[in-house]
Amino acid sequence: MTAFAPESIATPVLRDFGGGPFGIYVHVPFCATRCGYCDFNTYTAGELGTSASPQSWLEALRGELCSAATAFADLPSAVPPVSTIFVGGGTPSLLGGDGLAEVLDAVRANFTLAADAEVTTESNPESTDLPFFERLRAAGYTRISLGMQSAATHVLRILDRTHTPGRAVAAAGEARAAGFDHVNLDLIYGTPGESDADLDASLDAVLSAGVDHVSAYSLIVEDGTAMARKVRRGELPAPDEDVLAARYERIDTRLSAAGLTWYEVSNWAATDSARCRHNIGYWDGGDWLGAGPGAHSHLGGVRWWNVKHPGRYAERVAQGGLPVAGWEALTAEECYTERVMLGVRLRSGLPLEALDAEGRAASEEVVADGLADIHDGLLILTDRGRLLADGVVRSLLV
């Protein structure tokens, strides 16, 4: 085992690569405004003041990537080619096309990319245009994920989203015109005040965009957010579980009829190649480096996370080594729990052999309840089971 980074910084003890795909996640912590439902590690210019900027963040990112590559070089096996890169946030598109090109250049300067590497960036529709997408395509990005959330103005207002209805669809068209074959639109359903007609309008818009991937997430009111405070004060109703279930069924029906097939409970793709390989790496328990403020990493059963504030992050990188805030070596029980939690959500199914004796016994009850089927030794959720996926997980982890 090899420790990485100086003793003055609390850093994990690395284990060797697990032998599967290796991905890199880059966290961009900047947003123009803060959405009321968001609890991600993001900051507006007013919140940061002069403590950090995109320029200081990018310089620190280069330093972190260099330190990581140096640390990985000490492992018994060679660093595998990077199979996926995902730039998320925050709002990566605020960096502009040139800024995002620099991010990819920083990865390339320290790691070898696989010939068929999937390179994704999230983007806010309002901070994109055709030249932006053309710059990204020329830089080597292969996939675009756009935050649409809803096509209804009043729903966007409740979510504190700043883009206008229709802009997400237009941005998707621009991305495709720039040469992107793989474009995703994100939806959020179950927002207070959203009607069935609102959801149908959003789905109409998504399908008119001709994208090959759709992600749809139920609204979760996270503690500490502005929306949570409004719900607590009675200004907004909490999301209704029955409504959320009905909305999910509505989404699945429409997307399936249009040729988009679910491959994870909240994700649909037109083809196998349209699936987000980076996220699949997470769900399959793969290895990845998370770079940027607050980013999480995983390597060989060890997980670590960076300091959150961009200013402090830059300071720690400048000290040398990696800006790690904490780490943990996952126990066998923790690895088992994560394998079940994530594997159950995949259409490819959870191998019965991955379950312990109690889990296999519980799987028989799950099947008897109509929540899953067994095919070729794989436990696969039924349509009803997808609505109750969390309950299925709890049953299996007896």
Residue 227: pLDDT over 50: yes
CA distance 344 to 382: 11
In this predicted model, which residue has the larger pLDDT, 334 or 162? 334
Task: Return the pLDDT at 221.
Answer: 86
Task: Return the pLDDT at 242.
Answer: 93
Q: Which CATH number fits domain 22-284: 3.20.20.70, 3.40.50.1980, 3.30.70.260, 3.40.640.10?
A: 3.20.20.70
- Classified as helix, coil or strand, 23 is strand
Q: Identify the band that residue 334 occupies on the pLDDT scale cut at 50, 70 and 90.
A: very high
Give backbone dihedrals phi and psi of 268, rounded to 5 degrees, phi first: -130, 140
Stretch 213-228: mean pLDDT: 91
Q: Which of 17-21, 92-96, 350-354, 357-361 has the lowest mean pLDDT?
A: 17-21
pTM over 0.85: yes
Tell me: the pLDDT tens digits for 2-61? 444 444 445 677 888 988 899 999 999 998 887 877 778 888 887 887 778 999 999 999
> Exposure of 116 by Cβ count < 10 A (0-12 exposed, 13-18 middle, 19+ buried)?
exposed
Tell me: the pLDDT tens digits for 45-92? 878 877 789 999 999 999 999 999 999 998 988 999 999 999 999 999
Stretch 264-291: mean pLDDT: 97
- Classified as helix, coil or strand, 136 is helix
- Which residues pair with residue 302 across a beta bridge? 299, 329
SS3 content of the chain, % helix, strand, coil (to 5): 40, 25, 35
Residue 188: pLDDT over 80: yes
Ranges of each domain in the chain = 22-284, 331-397
Tell me: the pLDDT tens digits for 125-166? 999 999 999 999 999 999 999 999 999 999 999 998 877 889
Top-ranked range on mean pLDDT: pick from 161-170, 232-241, 245-254: 245-254
State how far Cα 249 lies from the chain centre: 22
CA distance 24 to 29: 16
CA distance 225 to 34: 10
Helix (H) or strand (E) holding 215: strand 213-218
Stretch 252-260: mean pLDDT: 98
Stretch 299-319: mean pLDDT: 94
Q: Identify the band that residue 344 occupies on the pLDDT scale cut at 50, 70 and 90.
A: very high
Common-topology check for domains 22-284 and 331-397: no
Residue 353: pLDDT over 50: yes
User: Which amino acid is located at 133 in the chain?
Assistant: F
Task: Return the pLDDT at 41.
Answer: 82
Task: Return the pLDDT at 346.
Answer: 98
Residue 362: pLDDT over 70: yes
Task: Return the pLDDT at 11.
Answer: 63
Residue 238: pLDDT over 70: yes
Q: Which CATH number fits domain 331-397: 1.10.10, 2.40.128, 3.30.70, 1.20.1260?
A: 1.10.10
In the chain, pLDDT over 70 holds for what percent of residues?
97
Evaluated on CA atoms 105, 107, 113, 116, the torsion sign reads negative
Stretch 321-346: mean pLDDT: 94
In this predicted model, which residue has the larger pLDDT, 194 or 41? 194
Q: Identify the band that residue 102 occupies on the pLDDT scale cut at 50, 70 and 90.
A: very high
Task: Return the pLDDT at 375.
Answer: 96
Angle at 5 between CA 3 and CA 11, to 5 degrees: 65
In the chain, pLDDT over 90 holds for what percent of residues?
80
For residues 310 and 45, is the Cβ–Cβ distance under 8 A?
Answer: no
Instruction: DSSP for 301-369, please give it.
Output: TEEEEE-SSHHHHHHHHHTSS--EEEEEEPPHHHHHHHHHHHHTTBTT-EEGGGS-HHHHHHHHHHHHT
Task: Return the pLDDT at 213.
Answer: 98
The token pair at 265 is 């409970």
